[in-house]
Amino acid sequence: MSDGREGAVTAAPLFAGGNEGSEPRWWQRGVIYQVYPRSFQDSNGDGVGDLPGILRRLEYLKWLGADAVWISPFYPSPMRDFGYDVTDHEAVDKAFGSIVDFDAVVREAHARGIRVILDFIPNHTSNRHPWFLESRLSREAPRRDWYIWRDAAPGGGPPNNWRSAFGGSAWEWDSHTRQYYLHTFLREQPDLNWRNPAVERAMHHVVRFWLDRGADGLRVDAVQKVIKDHLFRDDPPNPAYVEGSDDPYDALLHEHSSDQPEIHDVIERMRAVVDGYGGDRVMIGEIYNEVERIVAYYGRDGRGVHFPYNFQLIKLPWDARVIDAAIRRYESLLPPGAWPNWVLGNHDRARVASRVGPAQARVAAMLLLTLRGTPTLYYGDELGMRNVDIPPERVQDPWEKNLPGRGLGRDPVRTPMQWDGSRNAGFSDVEPWLPLSRDCSRVNVRAQERDPTSMLTLHRALLALRRREPALSMGDWAPVQAEESVLAFTRSHGGTRFLVALNMGPEPASLRVGGPGTVELGTLPGSEGQPVDRTLRLRGDEGVIVRLA
């Protein structure tokens, strides 16, 4: 049959250093589920989620069909940036439990066939980290060069115009040693100097510590920021910046403060540490950049990260033609053998149900879980959780506190997981650290688990189908010509082919199909088992997976 396919992309062997010609790795077949530990499950009645809470909910992750759990930071921290300001990279903050609890999570997750991925934070530490406390003792301190210190500019003021991602200058004056230190994020998060080999050795030790304890991989935070221009040149202005409406950080093009050529050498050496534990560990990079730059992080001959997170579905307008073009371009830019990935939500960006609406969130789930590559699912998105309005007196996020009224705060996407309709939604016996959504009495696991039309049931069905059908997890991908609000593509493996057709608008639409098939799964009730011949008719806000004859 003719289904409008244009240039199928075949699943190629892995990069050099992988397992060419052998079975796909677990992280290629599987689905990653991100847990923000403060908000997943409180086990001790303090209103904050913890590792024992994750342990308690592992059976849910198995039931859902997740293959791996990525746990956001749980390291000792003053919590100025809620765990991303680390004081000890090789321990667990008491708010989250203990190292014994971590070991239990790994052991019990593995017993259920679930891998464990940790956040690794290489760019910075807390300003209370022993390394930084020693660094700021004097200009001659043994660890002075572990951080980035600079004299004031001629005439005074910061050494250059680099900006902090959380507002203001990226430089903080230290009156004791009379120099500035660099902080790409909060002033309480001084940047490490990765041009110092001692820093790199120390951070590699951190990687080995967690891999030795059974972690299956790392999500490397803000990795493109790790190396800066050695001449400390000013960043140029961004001509597209709109004063007063855009994030002030975007007023500059970060040509010198980020994404430097030497970062790829750093990543190669980090990857070598991970590869030393065998081919079953994974290293994922967090890179917010244009897709042309993102794909560079696969590295030379595939010696970079196993995959850099691809955030296009978070950032792009929810428009079928825009997203179709983006998928095609991404696939065309991937280096030979590179493994793609897709993300719909995370702890930093608005929830998908708030971005596109509850109806289209179902379509988005089908898109995420049928595209070629590894999908990452953010906790609560499988329920259709939406952003929660945070009263000013309950705001926790330093980004919102530093730049109030800009809508940059991340608290609305970090609210507690909604487990049931009880008080505090089954998350805690006491008031949680962030407020719950007003709809938590109906948008929760208990209410949706037995509802055949629920968002949770749809996710379980999609995950089960993806696991059951290699065409949807490991198969080839090819775009299908569609018009207006319809996005379509095929997935194929062996003799099995599926057509995925998604109506990304509220009005009915149709797609010409060159031959017969049967709807395997739909986002709306009543479509499964329906025959398809020459024309596939889609209701508004409907997606279907068609098994082609």
**Residue 446 included in any domain:** no
**Residue 449 included in any domain:** no
**Residue 486 included in any domain:** yes
**Residue 433 included in any domain:** yes
| CA dist., res. 447 & res. 440, Å (int) | 10
Tell me the HSE value of 343 on the side-chain side, using a 13 A CA sphere.
26
Mark whether 152 and 227 lie in a shared domain.
no
**Nearest alpha carbon to residue 119 among 107, 137, 102, 98:** 102
User: Domain end: 438, 454, 488, which one?
Assistant: 438
Per-residue H/E/C for 363-392 = HHHHHHCCCCCEEEEECCHHHCCCCCCCCH
Position 430 scores a pLDDT of 98
Position 259 scores a pLDDT of 97
Q: Which three-class secondary structure state does DSSP give residue 107? A: helix
Mark whether 264 and 151 lie in a shared domain.
no
**Residue 455 included in any domain:** no
**Residue 147 included in any domain:** yes
Per-residue H/E/C for 58-86 = HHHHHHHCCCEEEECCCCCCCCCCCCCCC
Mark whether 297 and 170 lie in a shared domain.
no
Active site amino acids: 221, 286
Per-residue H/E/C for 117-134 = EEEECCCECCCCCHHHHH
Give the residue numbers spanning the domain of 152. 130-182
Position 18 scores a pLDDT of 39
| CA dist., res. 40 & res. 49, Å (int) | 5
User: Residues 212-233: pLDDT tens digits?
Assistant: 999 999 999 999 999 999 999 9
Q: Exposed (0-12), middle (13-18) or buried (19+): which is 251, by Cβ within 10 Å? A: middle
- Taking the C-alpha atoms of 524, 526, 528 and 529 in order, what is their torsion angle to the nearest 10 degrees? -160
**Residue 312 included in any domain:** yes
* Bridge pairing between strands 171-174 and 149-150: unpaired
Helices (H), 393-545: 398-402, 445-448, 455-468, 470-473
Angle at 317 between CA 312 and CA 323, to 5 degrees: 55
Mark whether 134 and 223 lie in a shared domain.
no
Position 515 scores a pLDDT of 81
| CA dist., res. 87 & res. 195, Å (int) | 21
Q: Which residues of the chain have pLDDT under 50?
A: 1-3, 13, 15-21
Mark whether 322 and 415 lie in a shared domain.
yes
CATH number of the domain enclosing 312: 3.20.20.80
Counted domains in the chain: 3
Angle at 454 between CA 511 and CA 320, to 5 degrees: 30
β-sheet bridge partners, residue 546: 499, 519
User: Domain end: 182, 206, 225, which one?
Assistant: 182
